């Protein structure tokens, strides 16, 4: 694993998008394919949006802590919000018939679909994602 970089961003989607671009640029610089870069960007934006919207409830006095490492073999990202947490097993299945027309609720499903490994802390305010290059 490469050098672990740590940063705190405000509870703000503009800051989240800027950080996502920095991480994606590192993946591109390490030779990740466009398909893998897309997967990282999508999952990362979803995770950051969840931390801001659901974890921190858009509270401008809170921040999101991000630790990440990108090298030629894999990208690993850890996102921690200041919310109370949640139980990911209680998130409704977005593919269930009763949820198909709901405009939200697909973030965790997308993160799991596009990353090689996704895990949540027991408290539910931390997500760790890994994407292998190749």
Residue 68 and residue 80 in contact, taking contact as beta carbons nearer than 8 Å: no
State pTM to two decimals. 0.92
pLDDT at 13: 96
- Tell me the domain boundaries of the chain: 5-132
pLDDT at 62: 98
Query: Among 14, 94, 86, 77, which residue's Cα sits nearest to residue 56?
Result: 86
70 has which bridge partners?
A: 75
Residue 77 and residue 51 in contact, taking contact as beta carbons nearer than 8 Å: no
* Cβ partners under 8 Å of residue 108, min gap 6: 46, 50, 88, 91, 118
Q: Which residue has the higher pLDDT, 55 or 92?
A: 55
pLDDT band of 103, cuts 50, 70, 90: low
pLDDT in tens, 20-73: 999 999 999 999 999 999 999 999 999 999 999 999 999 999 999 999 999 999
Q: Domain 5-132, CATH 3.30.565.10 — does that match?
A: yes
Q: Which residue has the higher pLDDT, 91 or 81?
A: 81
Q: Which residue has the higher pLDDT, 98 or 57?
A: 57
CA–CA separation, 94 and 66 (whole Å): 27
Residue 80 and residue 6 in contact, taking contact as beta carbons nearer than 8 Å: no
Q: Which residue has the higher pLDDT, 130 or 106?
A: 130
pLDDT at 104: 66
């Amino acid at each position: 694993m490469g050098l672990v970089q740590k940063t705190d961003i405000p509870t703000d989607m503009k800051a989240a998008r800027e950080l996502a671009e920095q991480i994606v640029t590192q993946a591109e610089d390490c030779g990740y394919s466009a398909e893998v870069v897309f997967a990282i960007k999508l999952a990362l934006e979803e995770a950051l949006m969840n931390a801001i919207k659901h974890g921190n409830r858009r509270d401008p006095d809170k921040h999101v802590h991000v630790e990440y490492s990108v090298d030629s073999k894999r990208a690993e990202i850890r996102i921690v919000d200041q919310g109370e947490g949640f139980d990911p097993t209680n998130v409704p299945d977005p593919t269930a018939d009763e949820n198909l027309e709901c405009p939200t609720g697909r973030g965790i499903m997308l993160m799991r679909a596009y990353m090689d490994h996704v895990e949540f802390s027991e408290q539910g305010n931390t997500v760790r994602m890994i994407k292998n290059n190749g």
